[in-house]
Amino acid sequence: MSDLEALKNPSSTPVEPGIAPLLAQIERTRERLSNAEQRVADYVLAHPDTIMHLSIAALATTAGVSQPTVARFCMALGLSGFKEFKLRLVQSLAGGVPFVHRDVGVGDPASALVAKVLDRTIAALMRVRSDLDPAALDQAIDLLGNARRIEFYGLGNSGIIAADAQHKFFRLGVPTVAYADPHIHGMAATLLQPGDVVMAISSTGRTRDLLRSVESARKAGAEVVAVTASGSPLTKVSTVALCADVEEDPDVYSPMTSRIAHLAIIDVLAVGVALSRGPELLGKLEKAKQSVRERRMPHHRAASYSTRGLPHP
């Protein structure tokens, strides 16, 4: 197939399994590039749809750099040159979901906020789906499914996620607790035993207090499942790590996409553990659901209330 045919039909060009979308790769690589190469990266991230129509000379001129700089930018991404770069870019865009989050602006209408925020979230979830290690996932489900006790540790935003995780897992018939205070989970970690499992949640994996608690848990004989960024210190001290590499700037807005990615991973783990525990779990889950149903008002009673909020006599 010619290069031109491949550009016109990107779905016919195989994509190597496990490769992250090219635009996401550029985001992660940008800080390691030279200043001139960063100008190329910024132009590509801001105008990905126009690149396939540009020559290397046109891109260099538009970005205000030399042609050798564009070539070095391509090689910094592990590509052979500009031709392969354009092919990979078309493949990334063929998925139909933007992999670049264009920052929300002060004057943006509500429709733009919806598109920008949700596009970023969708892209993050797709990235997690493609990057999540099946072997690590199986190992984490096995540890959690056979745990004597599960403790969830997180700080700040991750502490809220830890509480949500505990809310899902306590229904599975395992003693669970969530701690967001570093002093408390630091002490709790020293009291763990072999057979216990900690799920440590951190978007950066570099928080000292969480790392100390995880190290204490491992010394006590417990296993640790980390939900964090790949290559972080937390992955190195955990038994198994489930990684979500999500690009976002917490100085611009509160972390959103990393939270959604972590919650999705926890949902996968909860479903996996429920399936691993077999049919005997169904009875327990049904009792929990019945308890919730008994606290809801039937539809016919709810409909009988007046608009003033008082029941009819």
> How do residues 155-189 score in pLDDT, each as one tens digit?
999 999 999 999 999 988 889 999 999 999 999 99
> How do residues 39-55 score in pLDDT, each as one tens digit?
999 999 888 878 878 89
HEC sequence for the chain: CCHHHHHHCHHHCCCCCCCCCHHHHHHHHHHHCCHHHHHHHHHHHHCHHHHHHCCHHHHHHHHCCCHHHHHHHHHHCCCCCHHHHHHHHHHHHCCCCCCCCCCCCCCCCHHHHHHHHHHHHHHHHHHHHHHCCHHHHHHHHHHHHCCCEEEEECCCHHHHHHHHHHHHHHHHCCCEEEECCHHHHHHHHHCCCCCEEEEEECCCCCCHHHHHHHHHHHHCCCEEEEEECCCCHHHHHCCEEEECCCCCCCCCCCCCHHHHHHHHHHHHHHHHHHHHCCCHHHHHHHHHHHHHHCCCCCHHHHHCECCCCCECC
Delineate the domains of the chain, giving CATH numbers in brackets: 3-93 (1.10.10.10), 132-293 (3.40.50.10490)
Half-sphere exposure of residue 305, counting CA atoms within 13 Å on the CB side?
A: 9
- Has this prediction a pTM greater than 0.85? no
The tokens of 240 are what?
């198994």
Specify the pLDDT at position 6.
40
What count of residues does the chain have? Answer: 313
Specify the pLDDT at position 113.
77
Specify the pLDDT at position 254.
54
Specify the pLDDT at position 190.
97
| Averaged pLDDT in 10-residue chunks for the chain of 313 residues | 40 37 82 93 87 89 94 91 86 56 66 77 80 94 96 95 95 92 97 98 94 98 96 96 75 68 95 82 63 70 49 48
> How do residues 193-229 score in pLDDT, each as one tens digit?
999 999 999 998 999 999 999 999 999 999 999 999 9
